[in-house]
Amino acid sequence: MRLLFSSRNLPTTSGTFGGFPEVIRVRGITQFHSQWRKYSTKEPPSPPTTQLEGKHYPIDEWTNIPSHISSALSRKLHLQPSHPLSITRRLIESRFPSPTYQYHNDLSPIVSVHQNFDSLGFPIDHPGRCRTDTYYINKDTVLRTHTSAHQADTFRSGTSDGFLISADVYRRDAIDRSHYPVFHQMEGARMWSRNECGASGGVAAVIREEIESMPKHGINEPLRVRWVEAYFPFTSPSWELEVYWQGDWLELLGCGVVKQSLPKNAGIPDKIGWAFGVGLERVAMLLFGVPDIRLFWSLDERFLGQFKGGEVSRFVPFSKFPPCYKDIAFWLPNSSSAAGGQVPFHENDMMEIVRNVAGDLAEDIDEFTHPKTGRKSLCFRINYRSLERTLRNDEANSLQQAVKRVLVEEFGAEVREKSEK
Ligand code: PHE
């Protein structure tokens, strides 16, 4: 069983082999711990590390990356030529031509807290910085939560007026058909000299015009979109573009006029410009008619075999296998949820536990009771469903048992019996 790693259980080392790095399995993450013994003098052990993309990173009480996330780092779906995400990327790129726009498609997902938050003016208490929302490698290093993490560096490099950055991004998030903890964004930005374009109102008008030029190929139903005023720490004014999808308004992109502090800090104070960040999965779901975000991760030929580089085609669903609902209700200890820990239980912790146990067999999770006075009681309905086969009830039951075990052992939860619900 894969388990969640968090500060609640810091890794401990066991027997060492002099001179060789020791590999430790800690709650689903492989840690490498070098301990070097020299004759009678024992050097202090070096801190435990984790290996990601071939590099070792120290881990600490901020580390919270489970194996199902670290294994996604190598997939690079936006670069697979026949994958819908790559086709979508290229389509959008074709609207923002080179050399005005330079494309960056292979920037490492491992960035500093400074790049991801500070360089963009995120206040220190911004909720996005929480461990419940962001995957930390350690207190200074994260898996980027958005492609904006590269804005400041790319502005500073100054190699083109505009750029498009396409990349995988990582967020601890809900489980449902339009959310996945790893998804892909494209960041677009364009700078002008101030004297070229006048007031920022001019830039705002250009943004809307350019962004609405996004491809709308083959979308059968009339696309219902709306602009919503938004807030991002690094743009002002800011907007979101939402699209109506399966009965709900879904955020497609965020954008705005880049705040002056960014070009100023990047050494180009006389420039002004706009930036947007668009979710590639969301655009691809509309373009190709893909009904469930998990499908993008499928290795099933019935999915992958349907698409061809450069072509937008409608996804033909293969049979939808039956779902299997399982409910779970539990009490949490009063002040903190974690057995022996200080960190309060967050809905995203539940999502993470289920993803660790069930992987992509969890289709969605609903919270359907509210905390009561005194002890906190939570109740979730987990919908298990395989995209590729019929899931047996006993399989779903054993996944559910595994989820319960994690809740009890790691969060000190007391699972409520059916009669109590
Ligand atoms: N980075 C923002 C997000 O992920 C989107 C954004 C990009 C907003 C660029 C404004 C400008 O939500």
What confidence tens digit (pLDDT) does each residue in 249-278 have? 999 999 999 999 999 999 999 999 999 999
Q: For residue 15, what pLDDT is reported?
A: 26
| Residues forming a β-bridge with 364 | 383
Q: For residue 46, what pLDDT is reported?
A: 76
Rounded distance between C-alpha atoms, residue 5 and residue 28, angstroms: 7
Nearest CA to ligand 1 atom 9: 276
Q: For residue 197, what pLDDT is reported?
A: 64
- β-pairing verdict for 110-112 and 141-143: antiparallel
Ligand 1 centroid to residue 255 C-alpha, Å: 6
* Candidate of 147, 148, 165 to mutate for ligand 1, largest count of ligand atoms within 8 Å of Cβ: 148
Domains in the chain, CATH or no CATH each: 49-213+222-305 (3.30.930.10), 324-416 (3.30.70.380)
pTM for this one?
0.82
Q: For residue 283, what pLDDT is reported?
A: 94
Ligand 1 centroid to residue 254 C-alpha, Å: 5
Q: For residue 18, what pLDDT is reported?
A: 26
| C-alpha of 270 from chain center | 34
Residue 421 scores a pLDDT above 80: no
Say if residue 291 is exposed, middle or buried (CB neighbours under 10 Å; 0-12, 13-18, 19+).
middle
Ligand 1 atom with minimal separation from the 169 CA: 4
pLDDT tens, 75-114? 999 999 999 999 999 999 999 999 999 999 999 999 999 9
- Residues with Cβ within 8 Å of 185's Cβ and at least 6 positions away in sequence, in order, are 146, 147, 166, 167, 169, 277, 278, 279, 280
C-alpha distance from residue 181 to each of 38, 99, 298, 359, 419 (Å): 44, 33, 15, 11, 34
Ligand 1 centroid to residue 379 C-alpha, Å: 33
Q: For residue 12, what pLDDT is reported?
A: 28
Q: Considering only 13-27, 121-135, 220-234, 284-298, which range has the smallest mean pLDDT?
A: 13-27
Say if residue 183 is exposed, middle or buried (CB neighbours under 10 Å; 0-12, 13-18, 19+).
buried
Residue 210 scores a pLDDT above 70: no
Rounded distance between C-alpha atoms, residue 355 and residue 362, angstroms: 7
Q: What is the DSSP string of 141-206?
A: EEE-SSGGGGHHHHHHH--SSEEEEEEEEE-----BTTB-SEEEEEEEEEEEEHHHH-SHHHHHHH
Residue 213 scores a pLDDT above 90: no
pLDDT tens, 352-408? 999 999 999 999 898 765 555 556 678 899 999 998 899 999 999 999 999 999 999
As given in the structure block, the two tokens for residue 262 are 């960014």
pLDDT tens, 221-259? 567 889 999 999 999 999 999 998 888 899 999 999 999
Give the DSSP H or E segment for 350: helix 347-358
* Candidate of 119, 129, 146 to mutate for ligand 1, largest count of ligand atoms within 8 Å of Cβ: 146
Residues whose beta carbon lies within 6 Å of some atom of ligand 1: 146, 148, 187, 232, 235, 238, 254-256, 275-277
Helix, strand, coil % over all residues of the chain, rounded to 5: 30, 30, 40
**Residue percentage of the chain with pLDDT more than 90:** 62
Ligand 1 centroid to residue 418 C-alpha, Å: 44
- Residues with Cβ within 8 Å of 227's Cβ and at least 6 positions away in sequence, in order, are 208, 239, 240, 241, 242
Average pLDDT over residues 318-328: 88
Kindly report each contact of residues 47-52 with a partner whose C-beta sits within 8 Å and lies 24 or more positions away, as own/partner: 48/11, 48/13, 48/24, 50/137, 52/110, 52/137
Q: What are phi and psi of 121, to 5 degrees?
A: 80, 25
Residue 150 scores a pLDDT above 80: yes
Q: For residue 217, what pLDDT is reported?
A: 55
Q: For residue 306, what pLDDT is reported?
A: 97
Q: For residue 123, what pLDDT is reported?
A: 97
